[in-house]
Every structure is written in structure tokens, then in C-alpha cells.
Amino acid sequence: MGGGTPLNPWAPAWTPRQPPSINAGAIAAVPLQVEPFDLMRLPDAVVTTVVSFLSAPSDVVHCALVSKSLRQHTQDAELVCDTRRLRSSSLDAGGPGDESKKRELLEGISKSMPGTVALLLPSLPLEDSELLRCVASLPRLQLLDVSSRKLTHSGVTALLQLTGGGVQEGQQDGVYEPAAGKCRAPYFMLNLQRCFQLTTGSLDALLAAPGLACLALSHLDLGRWGTEPEALQGLTTAAGSAGRCSSELQALVLQNCLRLHAGAIAALAAAVPSARFLMLGGCTLALAAFVSPPAASVPHLPQPMLDLLHAAYKAAPTSTSATVAAHIGVAQWLLAAVLMLPQLEALDLTFFPLPLVAVVRRVLTDAEVLAGLGRTPVEVWDFASDAATVVEQARSLLRRHLRPLSPSAGDGAVTCDAAKPDSSAGSAGARVADLLAEEAVRCVIRCAVNSSNTSRSTPLHMAAMTGKTAGIRKLLAAGVIVDARDTGGATALFLASEAGHADVCTALLAAGADPTISNAAGESPMYIAALRGHLGCVQALLRTCTARGIEWMDPELYGDSWTPLHAAAVAGREDVAACLLQAAGASGSELVVAPNKYGQSVVHIAARKGSSQLLRLLLSAGGVEAVVRRDGSGDTPVDVAKKNRHTAALAEFRRVTAMA
């Protein structure tokens, strides 16, 4: 073929996979001798720093078991202990043997990870005494996440006493108490969200905790909190005046709290004068309390701000005059609260009424009005409306401003041995400060993206319904619960499947969404996608079911045994039915004749619809057996077609019967 045209003129030049062998001899290549890397030859400080990058308790324990030297390094390392990477779902559910597993986990943390500075125990079923015993064994601990567990108010009190010392052991029955004289640096952050036994009394205790920089709570009933007259004084007399300085909080996260009213807004502003972030996503408003309030309780805003508020408010078309008045009232109280917080950088109003969010954002971003008041613009976040943008804005701003306070600075400093600079995470160097700050940022954003409205829809539900794939990815990366269900039992995957957003379905499934979770009506994501005729969604769901070994053809997975193929027949979607039958393969005939609760196969459904093309497809898989099957009323598909006078369907049945 010399000089001729090659078989494929566009093919790249062939390159051998290995260099040609060289004959042994004087010029033979000498094998390269690589000395194995020995971690323990590094300086002790470097080894300890390397170990500190471990976060799974099992990894730390395995490291400690290698040698006595590494065990010492694990004892000295300042660690982030994240139990979410270790626990199985059975441990959360309280299965057999879980008590011993839980005990082993806590003892392992106490013995092998005493230098822990951040401890994440969300959803772990702990008693107060177990939690307190573990926390007491970690003298450098500054960040604690115990969300979604049965923490009581007395448990919160005891948790705060661990940083104060002077409590005698055994002082309270059933609650672990530290020995007298023990104390430690204040907590930097506490995440106590979804601890449903906490009360506003717990909020008061936590707001008064010295040194606490970041606090996350949820589901408190604020209806009677902050109703005393003095709570309103700071806002009603002169917005922007100094409130009582009872907290050093930089970030207060109050998600999904009930009956937020004027007094509660005023009390919050007075309680956190140093706050940079006030996050109220998912809180329900006691709107009636804002309609025609007494003149003495209306906050006095600067006239330029008040004028802009009234000019910028745009009511929804269905809003009543009472609703408009309530929104204006809420906005006035929120703006007055912002003026009382001179360092505030952002206000989270996720799931607040959209006209209210819009007008507050308009006022707080007006540089001219704010400059006249000596203030800079304040960001207003709504994670449910534009998650792709807001998540990044929040992360950037939180990273810039949320930093641990040095234990030696301010009144929160402690002087006992357990909290001296050489053993305190707050003064352990820039790396520990960065580590704590980054973990706090993740925690705050994770709380924000998991807020919900009165229908229990999260920002993930909203993004799934509207097909915002970029927002979905940001929310998933931020730690949103992928299979959270609204009051109708729908997950985000169900809503995306119903709306036909195949890209969103793919992203959710890649993040671990469960395709078998049905809504309250028994409809699964694949069923609703087939019923709506969304072929792309059906294909994405089928790929995931195949990859995970899910028997999607099992009628027991679907309400009243209405399979996705039944749904495709109801919708008359031949393309969806063909896709399902192709995925079923040799089991397609079983799928065609599988009865629903009423004994109806998909052929019965197609016979009622009268689609000859769909019937031909189904009968090619089900054969004559599908023609003679009877439903719960004793009718065959032929009987159904006769009753509905579908001559084309009857002709198709005759054709198949004649071929048998």
C-alpha cells in the first residue's frame, strides 16, 4: 500500500503503547529505585497536621492503631469529627444492637479524638447524659451539631454549664455534670435545629451564652416570646438606638419558627446587637398582629426609608387590603430591626411572602437612602427563588465575616487550665480558625437550604418544579435533604418527574434520590412521569433503577398496583410504553398482563382508550394471553372494546387471535 491512500485518512498516527525493548547489555536501562515514603520521618507538627485532615471516626481509629507514635498524633490533632460518614441508617432507626454501636462510637471519639474541635452528630439518637459525657471529654470542642435529636431544655442548660465550670457532679438526676472547677473555652457554634423539645426558654439561655458566635435553632413557637413592653422599647422609640447587649452572636439562624410577630422581631434585634447575619427562613408570620397595630407600637423609620417602602411595595393581584397592611407592617418592623443592627450584612427571608421580600430587598439595597443613614446595603436572601445565585452569595459573605473569636478577647475569655491558649481551639492558629469558620459556613448554609414553607416544601422542591438545574446542583452541594417530602408526600424527584424536567431528575438521581418513594396518593416518580408522557424522565429513572438493581416492574412498588405501563396506557403514550417494554426485556409479557387493584391489565386500559397502535405494541409483548385475561368485573379486553365501540381495537384483537 506504499504511496496509496490510507484506509482512514483522518486516523491519528499510530504510536506504540510501550517503548521498544532494548537488548540486555551495557546500555540496558537500570530500574529506577524509588525510596518508599515514610510519614513518620516528617516533623511531629507536620504529622499531626496531616492527621488532622481526617474526619471520619473510623479513619482516625485505624490510624491510631498503626503505632504508638501515630496514636499520640491522633490524640494531639485538632479534628473535625463527622459521624455522618460512619453511621448506617439502622443506627438512626434504633435497630437491634444499636445501643452497643452507639456506645462504641462515643467511646471511640472520646478516647481516640480528644483534640476534636468540631463534632457533627446530627440525627444520632442520644440521651442528654450521653451527649454531655462525650462533650465533656473534648476540651477543645468549639463547634457542635446535634440537630434532629431529642435534646431537652435541661440538656441545653447543662451543655452551656460545661463552658462555665463550678457545677458539682451529680447535681441533677440523670444529667451528666462536670466536676467542680472544670471549664473550657466558649462554643463558637451550636446547631440545635430540629430538636423539637426545645422552647423559647432554651432560646433565652442560648442568647445569653458568653462567647457563642453562631446559633441555629428551629421550630420554636414565638407567639408569646418578646411580648413584654420593654422588648419593643428599642424599636418604637428610636430605630437604630442601641439595644441591650446580651449576646455576642455573629449569626442567628431561626428556621421554621411559628408566629413571628412584632415583639419577637424587636426582641431579637435587641438581643443580638453584634449580629452580621439574621436568618429567618421558613418562619410563619402572625400577620393579624401587624394589621392596624396601636400607634404607640409602630416603629419610627426615617422618612426617606418610609417613603421608599410605600413607593416600592407591589401587592400581588389577589392581595386584600388587610394583607397589604400586614406586609407593610412586617416590613417596617424588619427595617427597624436592621437599623438596630449596625453590623448586619444579610437578612434571610426564605419563604416569606414574595411582595414583602421584594420591598425589603428594594429598601435595603438602595445605596442613596442607606448612605443618608450612615449604613451600607444589606443583602436579602431567598433560597427558594434563586438558589443558584443566593447559595454562592451566602457562602461568599459568610466566609468573609464569620470568624471564631479569640478566647482571650472580650468578656467570654476563660482562665482555667482547660481553656488556656495552649489547649484552646480558638487560639490554636490560623488553620484551626479557618477550619472552624468553614465548618460553620457549611452548617449555616445547610440549615438555610433545608428550611420549608407551610406545605413543607423546601428550596429543592421549588427548584425541581421550575426546572432550575443549576439551582438544584447548588442546593445539593450545600447539603439539602434530597428526599425531603412535602405535606402531600412528594419529593423533589417526584415534582421534577411530574413537570418533565429530565435534567433535574438526572441530577437528583445522581445525588442519591430514591426513585421508589411515592406521594400520599401512591404515585411514584416513574408512574407520574409515564402518566404525563415525559419520556426523558422515564428514561432517567429506568437507568437508575437498572444501575441500583431496583425491580421497577414489581406492582407492589406502586399504589393500587398501577404500574408505569398502566400510566402510559392511560395517557395513550405509545413512546413511553415502548421504552418501558424495551427496558423490561424478556419480562415484558409479565408486565403487560400484570393486574392492578381492579384486576385490569394495561390491555384493558388501552382497550378502553381505543388506541389500535398502542394495542398492537402491547399485544406484541403480551400475546393472546393478554387478550383473554379478565378484570375484576369479569370482562376481557375484547369486552371492554365492545362496550366502548372501538372498532379499530376489536380489529386488532381479531388479528392477534387469528395469528395464534
What are 367-377's pLDDT values in tens digits? 999 999 999 99
What is the structure's pLDDT at 406? Answer: 52
**CB-count exposure of residue 634 (10 Å: 0-12, 13-18, 19+):** exposed
Residue 493 pLDDT > 50: yes
What 3-state class would DSSP assign to 458?
coil
Residue 17 pLDDT > 80: no
What is the structure's pLDDT at 227? Answer: 77
Residue 237 pLDDT > 70: no
Neighbours of 639 (CB within 10 A): 15
**Nearest alpha carbon to residue 516 among 491, 496, 480:** 491
Query: What nine digits make up the cell of 98?
Result: 444499636
**Concatenated DSSP letters for 274-320?**
T-SEEE-TTPPB-GGGGSS--GGGS----HHHHHHHHHH----TT--
**Nearest alpha carbon to residue 375 among 385, 386, 364:** 364
What is the structure's pLDDT at 9? Answer: 45
Residue 173 pLDDT > 70: no
Backbone angles phi, psi at 381, to 5 degrees: -100, 145
What is the structure's pLDDT at 433? Answer: 87
Q: If pLDDT is split at 50, 70 and 90, which confidence band does 89 have?
A: very low
Count H helices and E strands in the chain, helices first: 29, 9
154 contact partners, CB below 8 Å, separation of at least 6? 128, 172, 175
Q: What is the pTM of this model?
A: 0.85
Backbone angles phi, psi at 474, to 5 degrees: -65, -40
Query: What nine digits make up the cell of 113?
Result: 479524638
Q: What is the mean pLDDT of the chain?
A: 85
* Burial per residue of 109-127, b for 16 or more beta-carbon CB atoms within 10 angstroms, e otherwise: bbebbbbbbbbbbbbbebb
Average pLDDT over residues 365-390: 96
| E strand or H helix at 337 | helix 321-339
What is the structure's pLDDT at 341? Answer: 96
- Residue whose entry in the numeric block shows the C-alpha cell 466558649: 186
Q: If pLDDT is split at 50, 70 and 90, which confidence band does 289 have?
A: confident
Residue 25 pLDDT > 70: no
Report the top-level CATH class of 553-660.
mainly alpha
Contact 128, 154 (CB under 8 A): yes
For the chain, domain boundaries: 214-314+321-402, 553-660
What are 401-435's pLDDT values in tens digits? 998 865 433 333 333 443 444 443 333 467 788 88
Residue 271 pLDDT > 80: yes
Average pLDDT over residues 124-139: 91
Q: What angle do CA 321, 327, 330 make, to 5 degrees?
A: 140
Average pLDDT over residues 173-180: 43
Query: What's the order of all strands across the beta sheet hosting 214-218?
Result: 80-82, 118-120, 143-145, 189-191, 214-218, 251-255, 277-279, 346-348, 379-381
DSSP symbol at 568: H
Q: If pLDDT is split at 50, 70 and 90, which confidence band does 74 have?
A: confident
Residue 93 pLDDT > 80: no
Contact 584, 591 (CB under 8 A): yes
DSSP symbol at 145: E
Which amino acid is residue 655, in one-letter code? R
Q: If pLDDT is split at 50, 70 and 90, which confidence band does 59 have?
A: confident
- Higher local confidence (pLDDT), 87 or 207: 207
Average pLDDT over residues 620-633: 91
